[in-house]
Structure 1
Amino acid sequence: MLHPCVLNHLGPVRQWFCIRQVKFPSSRSHLVRSFSATARLHEILDMSALPPRVQPKYKDSPTSSLLSLQWPEPPRNLLIIPKFHAPQVTSSAVTFAKHVLNEYPNVNLVFERRVASQVHESLPFPIYAADPSALHDKIDLVATLGGDGTILRAASLFSLHSSVPPMLSFSMGSLGFLGEWKFDEYKRAWRHVYMSGSRVSVTDLQDPHTQAAVNRPPDDEEGLQLHNAWSHVRGKSMGLARSSKVLLRHRLKVGVYDADGVNINGRLMPTSTAEPQQLLPPAPPALQARNTRGEPMTHAIHAINELVIHRGPNPHLAIIDVYVNGRFLTEAVADGILVSTPTGSTAYSLSAGGSIMHPLVKTLLITPICARSLSFRPLGLPLNSKVVLKLSEKNRGRELEVSIDGKRKTGVTIGMEIRVEGEMVGRTPNGGWTGGVPCVIRSPASGSSAEDDDGWVGGLNGLLKFNYPFGEA
């Protein structure tokens, strides 16, 4: 029996697991203690009590174009984001949450407040509700259950930050081109990402090519520390030589400026009717940089897909002046114009006739939407290009609409401008990476000869029907 003083130092979730695993004698006082603990199982707790975020490291591989995920210690705070208005997906999220807590009791489960209120009665343990302004400092890992829109929603929660936690995505939506995993693989997928880089020896590996690496002891002090950190889940590791592969998806940095040159990003509103009509959360004080006059600077909004400016219900074509790196490029006369990432090249840009780009290509795309001139073709630029879109004085409409990833919008008029540039990614001094959205890639089956990007190639053919033969069903 654990002493009450010991239990008081544990969180509510860990108290539940400690008490559940103890065999109580038939004493009435012990039975009362057990009941008082279970009375708190359905609580929704504040995430401010959670430990700080664990920053993962990403390592280059000599045999892969993808990065290798290396946790310095086991991830503790998991944000689960299911698709809205989908009871079956919500049920799957509950199933996933129960598995994680049953097999990995040191993990804290976090939900958006709206979702937490829907699922907490179905979970036999406390959960945490997410405060968007504090997610960046607390969340180690994000799991999404839904389609590409759910992934965009998850990425938008970190749109003010240059560092995004790894994302484990289950394809349960209408298309799911970005979702890597099928939900029936959730046990393997979670084990795959949780144990990545753990270096704990195991006995359940069947691949003979990795057995020698599995039995080899750690060759440095870091390896020994990692071994001890995962000792409570011995037997679930992927082996010394294995780790999750991560595709780092580039984003855009967007700023909307009024006629006086003042950044108005803070006034952008959400587009979804499923979200409360609220402004972007303020950046944490530690991130509030100041300009030369000592005034707080508004941070850029990051977009994983695209920035779009369009005429909306206005009957007249939009007239937009396009500048690249400070030089005038062209006057666009069209329904609108898109600036997209390689990830966004298979979204709105593709429907508008833009080129398909592999997500590892460091570029941004300018794609016109129904241009008046047939010679106005999609254009690819280096990722570090700075694009400025200004409403021309010739524009007859009173206001055009600007949308960022379909998640935030505002209206722009003559004199305003939108500044867009690609987000550069790079290594930080502690071995991590800054910039981009790290997506955990589904690993091929053991013994498969599939290459790293075969998931993208397969999705291009299977989901987008690339060059699909005319007239076939």
Structure 2
Amino acid sequence: MSTTPESFKHNHIKQSPPQSQPCHNFSKRVVNDNDASSIASDDRMNSSWWWRTRSLNAPSPFQQFGPCGGIMKNSAMVMQIQDPASQRLTWYKPPLTVLVIKKVCDASVLTPFVQLVTWLVQEKNMVVWVESAVLDDVTLNEDIKFRSIRDKLVTFKDGRDDLTDRIDFIVCLGGDGTLLYASLLFQQSVPPVMAFHLGSLGFLTPFRFDNFQEQLTSILEGHAALTLRSRLRCVMHRKTENPHGFEHAVDSNAEPSSSLANSILVLNEVVIDRGPSPYLSNIDLFLDGKYITSVQGDGLIVSTPTGSTAYAVAAGASMIHSSVPAIMVTPICPHSLSFRPIVVPAGVELKISVSPESRNTSWVSFDGRNRQELFHGDSLRVTTSIYPVPSICAQDQISDWFASLADGLHWNVRKRQKCLDELSDLTASGSEDIFDEIENTKLYDV
């Protein structure tokens, strides 16, 4: 996924200098006993270099195939893909406005929220935006520190106020839902998001609040790695009737005034299910205009790599790193033993519609919101959006992801298998009774 500077207003991605590549000499060389050690040393150096590389991109393929074959050069299709490991935040100018999103209906977040907004207003002289509903919290208004800065906060109302080009920086206090809400608020370019883990799961919130002053100061100075979390652009096309009685669908290629208003960007997934109907869903799936298959089951999940660890993984999908450009398609309880989740390239367009033979309609939800019915003749088109969510890393893209797998999902957690030293001694002594007794004891210990 390529990212252009237009994706952000006051920030862009700074690419680290490329690592020097080793020069391989493929000319013939004579090998004797004297230079055998040097060759072994070279092999060790080359192997260690490959393990030390920080590139997360696949190697660029060699474009000549045999003596005569090759890839036709097409200047119109040339693009440069930046190594995700080198994506770092930089500011065009110092950020002045910050949006603070906190978890609702959670008293444990109130104290960190007051500490954060007070520090941002008094120490950093920043303009702090909060949702208008936050100021209606009775417990929060009883706090003396909060009352002293309450009038300095700028409020907005979801669904009424447009935050586009008004916010330089976003801070989330809570769980993964706060990051999903930030994605919903910004349906085009998203400011950099720093998420503190103050919720339940915290898979997308890598920062701890203990030393928030030092961490925020470092971020505001531009010292941060970024994970560009791709989003899906979902457009509903309704089958309607014109005055002459002919049915037509909304133009899928309308740009951007009409189509953009009907599109929704999702960070996790779009879910198509059978709703309250007792019948199986019968959903037709198209990829770039070609019919692929029909889904007969409870429904279908179309998710981003970020969403692969959410609903999709509960439905049996694999977990994909957030930097992988892909779209995951996962059936929900399919009535087929051979229907496995699939991963398709990020550049394709998926079209999902209710099959003409379906006994019922389907229902669609976008990141768990905006649930609406999908009727016969309607279709949902899903593509990868050009506007990702720039999520700030606590360490780096790899460390944060595996830490989330371990802490949030307890990935590959089990008791360690014991060594065979004790068993080997017992086997050598021929004491089968003692051997069986030890085995039974170990079974009870586990």
Would the TM-score normalized by the shorter structure come out above 0.5?
yes
Contact 1:319 1:392 in 2 (8 A): yes
For the residues of structure 1 that align with 2:181 and 2:306, how far apart are their CA atoms? Answer: 15
Look up the equivalent residue of 1:174 and give its one-letter code. S
For the residues of structure 1 that align with 2:330 and 2:120, how far apart are their CA atoms? Answer: 43
For the residues of structure 1 that align with 2:185 and 2:325, how far apart are their CA atoms? Answer: 23
> Bigger shift: 183-192 or 115-124?
115-124
Q: Establish whether residue 409 from structure 1 lines up as the match of residue 385 from structure 2.
A: no
Q: Establish whether residue 251 from structure 1 lines up as the match of residue 234 from structure 2.
A: no
Distance of aligned partners of 1:329 and 1:56 in 2 relative to their CA distance in 1, 3 Å threshold? same
Cα deviations by residue, 1:124-154 (Å, 9 ceiling, x for unpaired) = 1211002443211201111000111111011
For the residues of structure 1 that align with 2:9 and 2:379, how far apart are their CA atoms? Answer: 38
Name the counterpart of 2:10: 55
Distance of aligned partners of 1:304 and 1:458 in 2 relative to their CA distance in 1, 3 Å threshold? same
Contact 2:206 2:404 in 1 (8 A): no
Look up the equivalent residue of 2:373 and give its one-letter code. G
Cα deviations by residue, 1:321-373 (Å, 9 ceiling, x for unpaired) = 00001000001101000100000000000000011100000000000000000
Name the counterpart of 2:93: 73
Look up the equivalent residue of 1:308 and give its one-letter code. V
Alignment of 1:62-101 (within 5 A): 62=18, 65-101=85-121
Q: Establish whether residue 142 from structure 1 lines up as the match of residue 105 from structure 2.
A: no
Distance of aligned partners of 1:111 and 1:262 in 2 relative to their CA distance in 1, 3 Å threshold? farther
Name the counterpart of 1:124: 148
Shift in Å, 1:263: 5.0
Shift in Å, 1:407: 2.2
For the residues of structure 1 that align with 2:369 and 2:344, how far apart are their CA atoms? Answer: 24
Contact 1:78 1:142 in 2 (8 A): yes
For the residues of structure 2 that align with 1:182 and 1:103, how far apart are their CA atoms? Answer: 20
Q: Establish whether residue 329 from structure 1 lines up as the match of residue 274 from structure 2.
A: no
Shift in Å, 1:468: 3.0
Name the counterpart of 1:363: 326
TM normalised by structure 1 equals: 0.66
For the residues of structure 2 that align with 1:134 and 1:298, how far apart are their CA atoms? Answer: 13
Unaligned runs of 5+ in 2: 1-7, 20-53, 55-84, 241-247, 416-442
Contact 1:153 1:407 in 2 (8 A): no
For the residues of structure 2 that align with 1:358 and 1:419, how far apart are their CA atoms? Answer: 24
**Stretches of 4+ aligned residues off by more than 3 angstroms:** 260-265, 470-473
Secondary structure of the corresponding residue to residue 349 of structure 1: helix
Distance of aligned partners of 1:54 and 1:102 in 2 relative to their CA distance in 1, 3 Å threshold? farther
Look up the equivalent residue of 1:179 and give its one-letter code. T
For the residues of structure 1 that align with 2:378 and 2:136, how far apart are their CA atoms? Answer: 41
Secondary structure of the corresponding residue to residue 412 of structure 2: coil
Shift in Å, 1:114: 0.4
Shift in Å, 1:310: 0.4
Look up the equivalent residue of 2:12 and give its one-letter code. K
Q: Establish whether residue 185 from structure 1 lines up as the match of residue 211 from structure 2.
A: yes
For the residues of structure 1 that align with 2:169 and 2:251, how far apart are their CA atoms? Answer: 30
Aligned length: 329
Shift in Å, 1:378: 0.3
Distance of aligned partners of 1:384 and 1:185 in 2 relative to their CA distance in 1, 3 Å threshold? same
Secondary structure of the corresponding residue to residue 134 of structure 1: coil
Secondary structure of the corresponding residue to residue 345 of structure 1: helix
Shift in Å, 1:469: 2.8
Secondary structure of the corresponding residue to residue 137 of structure 1: coil
Name the counterpart of 2:30: none
TM normalised by structure 2 equals: 0.70
Shift in Å, 1:167: 0.3
Shift in Å, 1:123: 3.8
Q: Establish whether residue 462 from structure 1 lines up as the match of residue 407 from structure 2.
A: yes
Secondary structure of the corresponding residue to residue 239 of structure 2: coil
Secondary structure of the corresponding residue to residue 164 of structure 2: helix
Please provide the CA RMSD for this pair: 2.4
Alignment of 1:286-325 (within 5 A): 289-290=256-257, 298-325=261-288
Shift in Å, 1:462: 2.5
For the residues of structure 2 that align with 1:186 and 1:300, how far apart are their CA atoms? Answer: 36
Look up the equivalent residue of 1:254 and give its one-letter code. C
Q: 1:375 aligns with which of 312, 318, 338?
A: 338
Shift in Å, 1:409: 1.5
Cα deviations by residue, 1:135-190 (Å, 9 ceiling, x for unpaired) = 1120111100011111101111013x1x1000010011110000010111311221
Shift in Å, 1:312: 2.0
Q: Which has the larger radius of gyration?
A: 2
Contact 1:66 1:247 in 2 (8 A): no
Name the counterpart of 1:167: 193
For the residues of structure 2 that align with 1:349 and 1:187, how far apart are their CA atoms? Answer: 36
For the residues of structure 2 that align with 1:258 and 1:54, how far apart are their CA atoms? Answer: 34
Shift in Å, 1:117: 3.1
Alignment of 1:265-276 (within 5 A): none
